[in-house]
Amino acid sequence: MMKKPAFLVSMCLSMGLLYGALPASAEPAPAVPLQAGHDISPTVDTGWVKTWGAEARLYTDREKDYSPADSYVEVTAEKKGWETNYYEIYLYRVELTGLHFVNYKTGYMSVGTKEKFYIDDFLSKGSSGEFKVEMKLYKERKDRDQYLGEWRTKTFKINH
């Protein structure tokens, strides 16, 4: 038989969850999708991956290959929780000899961020290539020893 105080707490919590009456600090901090208004299913998506330090995902803005009509690659990074962390997002070209650095973006995010890599900056007209995007997360820029993990997309193609 359950004791009355425990039963009351259990009831209050259940009702609070049903009616959204819990304070924000008691609710888990979900990641807010940055693609609001877009119901795309990007094929270049890491999915939610939990490392020893964070749970995040990284994806591009296309369902298929980039066409000559596209002018940039938009990368979205999202993470769970509200803590602000320092990120580095890298764009690599995939070649037979491995990954070759193309460009990078850095900054701070609490829930998510979007970055654009302009195709004219790294690929000439009429050419194409295979690429990957990688994100590294840190607690703070000044203390890069507090590494939270990395996420890397699958290979995607850009036709310019």
Residues 6+ positions from 11 with CB-CB distance below 8 Å: none
25, 61, 86, 121 from 127: Cα distances, Å: 51, 20, 34, 13
Taking only the tens place, the pLDDT of each residue in 12-22 is: 444 443 333 33
Q: Which of 7-16, 66-75, 103-112 has the lowest mean pLDDT?
A: 7-16
Amino acid (one-letter) located at 128:
S
For residue 11, pLDDT over 50 is answered with no
pLDDT mean over 5-15:
43
Residue predicted with more confidence, 70 or 42? 70
Question: CATH fold of 49-159, please?
Answer: Immunoglobulin-like (2.60.40)
CA distance 90 to 106: 9
In this prediction, residue 101 carries a pLDDT of 97
pLDDT value of position 121: 96
The secondary structure of the chain, three-state, reads CCCHHHHHHHHHHHHHHHHCCCCHHHCCCCCCCCCCCCCCCCCCECCCEECCCCEEEEEECCCCCECCCCCEEEEEEEECCCCCEEEEEEEEEEECCEEEEEEEEEEEECCEEEEEEEHHHCCCCCCEEEEEEEEEEEEECCEEEEEEEEEECCCEEEEC
Give the count of beta carbons closer than 10 Å to the beta carbon of residue 115: 20
Lowest-confidence segment of 40-49, 120-129, 139-148 by average pLDDT? 40-49
- Model confidence at 145, in pLDDT bands (50, 70, 90)? confident
What's the pLDDT score for residue 43? 54
Q: Is the pLDDT of residue 71 over 80?
A: yes
87/78 Cα distance (integer angstroms)? 11
pLDDT of residue 97: 94
Residue 47 has pLDDT above 60, yes or no: yes
**In whole numbers, what is the pLDDT of the chain averaged over residues?**
78
